[in-house]
Amino acid sequence: MQLLELTPFARAEFELGWDPTDDAVERARRLIIRAFMGFGSNAHSDMGRGHRTTGFRANSSRSGTTPAHDWAGYPETLEAVVRRFRGVTIENRPALVVMAAHDRADTLFYVDPPYVHATRNRKNPNDAKHQYRHEMSDADHVALLDALRGLAGMVVLSGYPHPLYDGALPGWTRFEREALADGARPRTEVLWLNPACAAALEVRAGGHGTPLFAECERAVG
């Protein structure tokens, strides 16, 4: 936090943020710089393909606050992030292994996998700009969906609409919302709720389901 407070919202800092470092604290500072000072959601990583930087958010003509003004208040918000992660277990194993180990009727799984390639860039789904360091093939998505259908716990799954998902999740509750992706491109985002999750919402709503389902629709809309 102290280092970030002393970091100006500067192009030179943004360009430095892409250079590797062995210092753990400095590596964290550069991660935050890349994510905050760059455009889009790809600035957090170079995907292991060398320097693939995004643009620097230097604009000062938008209405409201500027990115530089937002940056000034960012470091103090990390205190809340640190508090939230105290007592949280962070795993580093295959997701299907972790979910199987923690699967109980009262477990809630929020699953946000890399989206199916065909939904990202219709002109060129394999464009490097639309890929993650760790990717999923269509076969991996099929395996994930098969595992999710077998869970005893409650599942909330997010993604873009695609026949591979819709065809594999009969009986799941589906919510849609219109959103803007990177570059302000209009996209349709989807949440799928498995029957256990939908049933839990109905119980919490007093057996009727309407209030909390309406709340979910407002949340995703």
Average pLDDT, the chain: 82
Using CB atoms within 10 Å of the CB of residue 165, give its burial: 0 to 12 exposed, 13 to 18 middle, 19+ buried: buried
Taking only the tens place, the pLDDT of each residue in 120-150 is: 765 555 555 556 677 889 999 999 999 999 9
Quick check: 25 pLDDT over 70? yes
What DSSP state is assigned to residue 114?
P
Task: Give dist(CA 219, CA 34) in Å, integer.
Answer: 29
- Prediction pTM value: 0.72
Taking only the tens place, the pLDDT of each residue in 176-190 is: 888 766 555 677 889
> What are the domain boundaries of the chain?
2-85, 95-220
Quick check: 42 pLDDT over 60? no
Taking only the tens place, the pLDDT of each residue in 190-201 is: 999 999 999 998
What CATH code is assigned to 95-220? Answer: 3.40.50
Q: At 179, give phi and psi (nearest 5°).
A: -145, 170
Q: How far is CA 78 from CA 25, 68, 113, in A?
A: 14, 17, 25
Predicted confidence at residue 180, as pLDDT, reads: 63
